[in-house]
Structure 1
């Protein structure tokens, strides 16, 4: 059993500078690799605007994807499908090929996100699906959490997103104030008014 993740760039065809967007994604991935949960296969670009990765547990995947979104520069965003199921490898002369029901579930999840973005939840970016035959009774609760989390993250200003990222990485409000050139009370106010404390606490709970 594994956790497969498929990601793609939101509005990739409308980006003015696709290469700059990719650099921003690579920088954000480096933050996740340094401070986020360990991955079995770290998220990495595959083809076009798609990325793929594999995580050992759902909590690891949820924490890593939150950190990734927070680390992205303003104007660049990703959408994620997370699949719970089998993740195997098919040997090939050109390199091993990852295969399994978790990938099909991840594909269904990201397609569901796209549909909901167009209809009822424009800020949604993340969804989890389980492969057929996989028992995952908590998924409605997880997806409800993701609806709320994505709404909060999507409403953050560029600076507040940096502050939330810093808190998730373990930096103090004093350290964040120094890096942003503002006062510690200003940091505290920004985090409180944006609902950012809930995002940070949720991240800490996922990390255990």
Structure 2
């Protein structure tokens, strides 16, 4: 009998579309597939992102930082098209049936608990910006990560789409002129976006979360 494959001290990412039954499902599904491809190319994974039952996405990562970066990449790629909520669970994953993609383990239980918590807050005005929760039982877990992720999300939620793209330009390491050209604005206008919205500080925080163990 073949030995069951296991991932110890990993982070499971579970995502679903917010309001997925509204709007153009064909367009949003195609965009999600494109975003998955971009994210899988950009963020290393133990088990790459894929669409599972219904509108859910899942992937397994070697660190919380990688799982956070994957979620951020997906949301950036889907800006103005679709929104996602995420549950990140730190623990273990056992591959029960590799052929059918059936997995088990504490990381998935915790990811499911996390995304259910996010969904439960969807009608609370005070938590309208919340899209991600972290439940991490690994020895290397960062206890403050759950709150810090929400703090970054709250800061990003107040930005207009163009400003979000300028933020992403910083995260991608692009210079001011390149971002401005991509946005169809002058370099001075992009600099004003960056400075008036504190984008460098926010980019530093996003980058720091992306390095968590």
TM-score, length of structure 1 as denominator length: 0.88
What are the within-5 Å matches in structure 2 for residues 188-207 of structure 1? 188-207=191-210
One of 184, 187, 198 as aligned partner of 1:184 = 187
Aligned twin of 2:162:
159
Task: Say what the alpha-carbon RMSD is for the aligned residues.
Answer: 1.9
2: CA distance between counterparts of 1:38 and 1:45? 17
Aligned twin of 1:60:
66
- 1:197–1:122 Cα change, 3 Å: same
One of 18, 21, 46 as aligned partner of 2:28 = 21
- 1:50–1:129 Cα change, 3 Å: same
Q: Say whether the 8 Å CA contact 1:24–1:73 is kept in structure 2.
A: no
SS of residue paired to 1:76: coil
2: CA distance between counterparts of 1:130 and 1:136? 9
Runs of 4+ with deviation above 4 angstroms: 134-137
2: CA distance between counterparts of 1:2 and 1:38? 13
One of 67, 76, 79 as aligned partner of 1:70 = 76
Structure 1: segments with no counterpart, 5+ residues: none
SS of residue paired to 1:182: coil
Residues 9-42 of structure 1: CA deviation (Å, up to 9, x unaligned): 011122x20111122222322332333x311112
What are the within-5 Å matches in structure 2 for residues 131-150 of structure 1? 131=137, 134-135=138-139, 138-139=142-143, 141-150=144-153
- 1:79–1:207 Cα change, 3 Å: closer
- The structure that is helix-richer by fraction is 1
What are the within-5 Å matches in structure 2 for residues 5-154 of structure 1? 5-14=13-22, 16-35=23-42, 37-91=43-97, 94-119=99-124, 120-131=126-137, 134-135=138-139, 138-139=142-143, 141-154=144-157
